[in-house]
């Protein structure tokens, strides 16, 4: 079994258990649930840097990245650096994250927050809103076309932006639909962990202009961004390059300063 299949199998168990313990009404009646959200796709359209910075303690490809930071400090640092939004990993088993991280980040900042999760059920979308997210990630490799449609339409009805992630042409063809806001090309193959920015370049011309294009993973230099911009990318999702340092906010700030 490849790692993605393993993650999804574990996620199904986790979500089944949670659904048996937490009634949907508890999520829908939470104070967070009725708040106004902020749009990441609009922030990216109006930004010159386009940086989305991620909070990621560890990953199956890198194991430990940084366990010693406080998520609120990271969020505040990223916001002060002038990033467009923040991605918060909420998967516990493989990435060391949690929904508490999302709540804490929400309490610290106003900028758009993405729940970075392997979403396989509507419940997780309600949960995202109830824990302060503005945006959800949907991963084409683990969803059917029908699921992408149902999940993205539910997210839109809750005022959440949708970032749909693809890694190849077939996933892209299956996924294009009006209920998405952003199309993300993951430069990392989630099955093999191989990273290549060429993936973003190759798929860019197949993404219709109405979607904000986001390039995800393996970005660690100003040159990479300059290389990708001519292909129409307006968003750049960066995790490890910032998180591996003692002060991710300061490294994001330095990165953005060098860009302009």
Ligand X SMILES: O=P(O)(O)OC[C@@H](O)[C@@H](O)c1c[nH]c2ccccc12
Q: Which residues of this chain interact with ligand X, rule CB under 6 A? A: 54, 56, 116, 139, 165, 186, 216-219, 237-241
User: What are the two backbone dihedrals, phi and then psi, of residue 103, each rounded to the nearest 5 degrees?
Assistant: -60, -45
Q: Which of 59, 152, 200, 217 is catalytic?
A: 217
Q: Which of 54, 79, 127, 171 is catalytic?
A: 54
> Least distance (Å) from ligand X to the CB of residue 34?
28
The residue (of 129 and 167) whose beta carbon lies closer to ligand X is 167
The residue (of 30 and 189) whose beta carbon lies closer to ligand X is 189
Neighbouring residues of 161: CB distance < 8 A, sequence distance ≥ 6: 37, 39, 40, 41, 112, 134, 135, 136, 155, 181, 182
> Least distance (Å) from ligand X to the CB of residue 87?
7
216 noted as active-site residue: yes
54 noted as active-site residue: yes
b/e burial code for range 122-132 (CB count within 10 A of at least 16 → b): bbbbbbbbbbb
User: Residue 85's beta-bridge partner residues?
Assistant: 52
Rounded CA-CA distance 240/64 in Å is: 10
The residue (of 56 and 131) whose beta carbon lies closer to ligand X is 56
> Least distance (Å) from ligand X to the CB of residue 211?
17
Gyration radius of the chain over CA positions: 17
Q: Which of 11, 56, 129, 213 is catalytic?
A: 56
116 noted as active-site residue: yes
> Least distance (Å) from ligand X to the CB of residue 214?
9
Kindly write down the DSSP assignment for every residue of 51-69, as one continuous string.
EEEEE-SEETTTEES--S-
Q: Show the tokens assigned to 143.
A: 């969803």
Secondary element (H or E) of residue 139: strand 135-139
Q: Which of 117, 127, 165, 240 is catalytic?
A: 165
Q: Which of 11, 116, 129, 253 is catalytic?
A: 116
42 noted as active-site residue: no
Q: Show the tokens assigned to 171.
A: 């996933």
The residue (of 56 and 129) whose beta carbon lies closer to ligand X is 56
Query: For ligand X, which residue has the nearest CB?
Result: 239
254 noted as active-site residue: no
The residue (of 203 and 237) whose beta carbon lies closer to ligand X is 237
Q: Which residues participate in catalysis according to the annotation?
A: 54, 56, 116, 165, 186, 216-217
């Amino acid at each position: 079994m490849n790692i993605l299949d393993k993650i999804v199998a574990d996620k199904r168990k986790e979500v089944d258990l949670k659904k048996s313990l937490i009634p949907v009404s508890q999520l829908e009646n939470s104070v967070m649930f009725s708040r106004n959200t902020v749009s990441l796709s609009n922030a990216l359209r109006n930004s010159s840097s386009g940086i989305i910075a991620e909070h990621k303690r560890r990953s199956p490809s890198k194991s430990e990245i940084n366990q010693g930071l406080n998520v609120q400090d990271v969020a505040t640092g990223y916001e002060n650096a002038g990033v467009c939004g923040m991605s918060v990993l909420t998967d516990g088993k493989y990435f060391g994250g949690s929904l508490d991280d999302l709540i804490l980040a929400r309490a610290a900042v106003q900028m758009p927050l993405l729940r970075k999760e392997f979403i396989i059920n509507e419940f997780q979308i309600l949960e995202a809103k109830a824990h302060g997210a503005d945006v959800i990630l949907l991963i084409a490799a683990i969803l059917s076309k029908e699921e992408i449609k149902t999940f993205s339409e539910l997210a839109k009805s809750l005022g959440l932006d949708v970032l749909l992630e693809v890694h190849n042409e077939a996933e892209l063809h299956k996924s294009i639909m009006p209920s998405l806001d952003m199309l993300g090309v993951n430069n990392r193959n989630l099955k093999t962990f191989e990273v290549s920015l060429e993936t973003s370049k190759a798929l860019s011309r197949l993404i219709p202009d109405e979607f904000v294009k986001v390039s995800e993973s393996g970005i660690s230099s100003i040159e990479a961004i300059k290389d990708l911009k001519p292909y129409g990318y307006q968003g750049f999702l960066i995790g490890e390059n910032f998180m591996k340092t003692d002060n991710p906010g300061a490294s994001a700030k330095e990165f953005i300063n060098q860009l302009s």
